[in-house]
Amino acid sequence: MDAAVLHRRTNMHHECVPPDLVDRLLALGHTEVARGLAVAQDEDWFCARAWARLLAGRGELDEALQVLAPYVGTGWWTAAAEAARLLDTGGRGDEAVAEATAHPEGGRPYAREGLALLLAGEGRPEEAVALLDADRLEQQWALGPLLVELGRVEEAVTLLRTPRPQVPPPQPTGYSDRPPF
């Protein structure tokens, strides 16, 4: 198993059972099918994720983490974030923060929002705010509520009301100013 292959499979829904179908299988009581696909040789991420969530919901958190372990072991952030989420909802938030922080991709901008939410959930909003970048549009929506929680309401309002930069429309060229027909 390789992180790049997992990323491609899940984003393209290629060579895997689509998440909607996995949810439907579980809703109809076909848990053994989902479990079998989750632990099969060619392992299916959506089945593994659903099976791990089911186990965690039953209070079998360690078993759920074992299901996710091969995926986390690839270094794939999506799997590590899911494991951290399960740890957090299972009452092991400090461990979730430690795992996410120690992950090689934990400092990347796309991982910071999830890590900030874990920190805030553990009662560490100051650290969460320090982790997020107000200049990154995708992090502003996570940053605003954290600022409010810290009593910095005016700063949050200013941040969220700041207009987004306008993307200039494409300029016509000799090739694009005529219809293709």
* pLDDT score of 80: 94
11 assigned to some structural domain: yes
169 assigned to some structural domain: no
Which residues are CB-contacts of 137 (< 8 A; sequence separation ≥ 6)? 164
pLDDT, tens digit, 9 for 90 and up, residues 3-51: 888 888 888 877 888 889 998 988 999 888 888 888 776 678 999 999 9
97 assigned to some structural domain: no
Which residues are CB-contacts of 82 (< 8 A; sequence separation ≥ 6)? 49, 52, 68, 71
Question: Which residues span the domain enclosing 15?
Answer: 1-76
pLDDT, tens digit, 9 for 90 and up, residues 82-110: 999 999 999 999 999 999 989 988 888 87
Q: Can you tell me the mean pLDDT for 56-77?
A: 94
Cβ pair 22, 48 in contact under 8 A: no
Q: Give the count of domains, the chain.
A: 1
Q: How confident is the model at residue 178 (pLDDT cuts 50, 70, 90)?
A: low
For all residues of the chain together, what is the average pLDDT?
Answer: 86
170 assigned to some structural domain: no
175 assigned to some structural domain: no
* pLDDT score of 52: 94
pTM over 0.75: yes
Q: How confident is the model at residue 77 (pLDDT cuts 50, 70, 90)?
A: very high
* pLDDT score of 59: 95
Torsion of CA 25, 29, 34, 36, to 10 degrees: -140
CA distances from 19 to 9, 23, 166 (A): 12, 6, 35
